[in-house]
Amino acid sequence: MTDGLRVKMFGGFSVCWNGQYLIEHSARMNKPQELLALLLARADEKLTNEQLMEALWESDEVENPAGALKNAVYSIRKLLQKSAPGVQFIVMENGRYQWNPQIPLELDIHRFEVLTEDLFGQEKTLEEQLKEAREILALYSGELLPGLNSRQWVIQENSYYRQKYLRTVKYMAGLLSGRGTRADLEEVLDICNRAALFEPLHEELYEYMFSAMRGLDMKQAVLSYYPVVSNLFYDELGEKLPERLRDVYLWASEGSNQIKEDLCQVQQDLSEVTKDTRPIRGAYYCEYEMFKHVYHMVARNAARSGDHVIIMLITLLPRKTELLQKQESVRYMLQLKEVIKNTLRKGDVFSRYSRNQYILMLPVRSALDVTVVQKRLETACQSHMEKKNLVIDMKSQMLEPMV
């Protein structure tokens, strides 16, 4: 399209009128630009003052939202008419605002919508489907209007388009995996890696990725990447990856440990685990399966030596009048992990026990020392964590010797 308005909303906001940019591609937006984005995103709707004010301002953001809306409309009309004097871009009818339907408009989200509906709605050849899917993925150059990602209307729209994008990625990955040439599997890795930047905890993406790595015989890549993904899921969700992904990891592990006669080389291999965290500080964090193995070793040792070991369970709980949102829970658990790691000693071990719990194993000289540890953790939590709407509960008991 050579005449009319061309608008991009994925990855930023840009507005071009007949080849001249009125708004450069940018993530930062002011209120008049937000108004324009809203009118364009809902170009087929007539929006009342109340609908616009509710979308653009929080209840306590401005004292006079009606006046602020009039100012925003005036500012955006002035900006648009600089390039096209006399053209009425925004029309008002019966107290409702709307983008003028007579003005040609090319909008990336509209094209995205048409293509996704067409991709899943009609019978096509494999090449036709792949061509259309590639265009959809190219259009999705980033999250919708990132400069407005805290606005409720953008959050809803963004979630809608992200789900359509992910559906296209998985559909395309399935088509490519089914054909299975080397180029196809490399493309699967490319599109799924990119999608994981937007949705890093989407399990199906990793299923396609690890399957493609296996098809490409990328054993070293699997060995390097699997622990990263596994830790991500465990740290963020308190969940383990499914067995089918672990099967790929076990496949990659086969034959990786060759016989070595040089003890120095063995030492070097073992040291690789901690090379990025030297000097080693704070408590040792591990997955729960590893924690159970450590528990068995420590319990046996305690039974033989008569030492004391405390098991402590730390739980994040919402206050009675509050609900802990998922993103808040993730953030708080990451904060708590850092507090535990930096507060406790090198010989202490801890792990994620559930979505909102950590379990700790603490060797102590006396059972009374647990009070000291608990107070130290409470002080650290107060200093380094947000605690507006949560309670941190700590329970502990002596480790029972193994019979």
What's the CATH number for 108-253? 1.25.40.10
Question: Which residues belong to CATH 1.10.10.10 in the chain?
Answer: 5-106
The CATH number for 284-398, chosen from 3.40.50.2300, 3.30.70.270, 3.40.50.450, 3.10.110.10, is 3.30.70.270
The low-confidence residues of the chain, meaning pLDDT below 70, are 1-3, 26-28, 59-60, 255-281, 302-306, 320-327, 367, 386-389, 399-403
Q: What is the distance, to the nearest Å, from the Cα of residue 245 to the centroid of all Cα atoms in its chain?
A: 20
The closest alpha carbon to 284, from 274, 275, 299, belongs to: 274
Query: Alpha-carbon distance 154 to 145, whole Å?
Result: 7
Question: Which residues fall within 8 angstroms of residue 104, CB to CB, at 6 or more apart?
Answer: 1, 3, 4, 5
Contact criterion met (CB below 8 Å) for 362 and 348: yes
Question: Which residues fall within 8 angstroms of residue 258, CB to CB, at 6 or more apart?
Answer: none
Query: Alpha-carbon distance 297 to 135, whole Å?
Result: 56
* DSSP single-letter state for residue 319: -
The pair of structure tokens assigned to 293 is: 């193995």
Query: Alpha-carbon distance 128 to 332, whole Å?
Result: 46
Question: Which residues fall within 8 angstroms of residue 169, CB to CB, at 6 or more apart?
Answer: 137, 191, 192, 195, 205
pTM more than 0.85: no
Question: Which residues fall within 8 angstroms of residue 58, CB to CB, at 6 or more apart?
Answer: none
The closest alpha carbon to 18, from 88, 77, 105, belongs to: 105
Q: How many helices (H) and strands (E) does the chain have?
A: 14, 12
Topology of the domain comprising 5-106: Arc Repressor Mutant, subunit A (1.10.10)
DSSP line for 268-294 = HHHHGGGGGGPSP-SPEE--HHHHHHH
Cβ-based neighbour number of residue 266 at 10 Å: 11
Give the model's pLDDT for residue 389.
Answer: 66
Give the model's pLDDT for residue 2.
Answer: 47
Query: Alpha-carbon distance 239 to 343, whole Å?
Result: 25
Question: Which residues belong to CATH 3.30.70.270 in the chain?
Answer: 284-398
The closest alpha carbon to 334, from 238, 242, 239, 198, belongs to: 238
Question: Which residues fall within 8 angstroms of residue 44, CB to CB, at 6 or more apart?
Answer: 101
Query: Alpha-carbon distance 346 to 349, whole Å?
Result: 8
Question: Which residues belong to CATH 1.25.40.10 in the chain?
Answer: 108-253
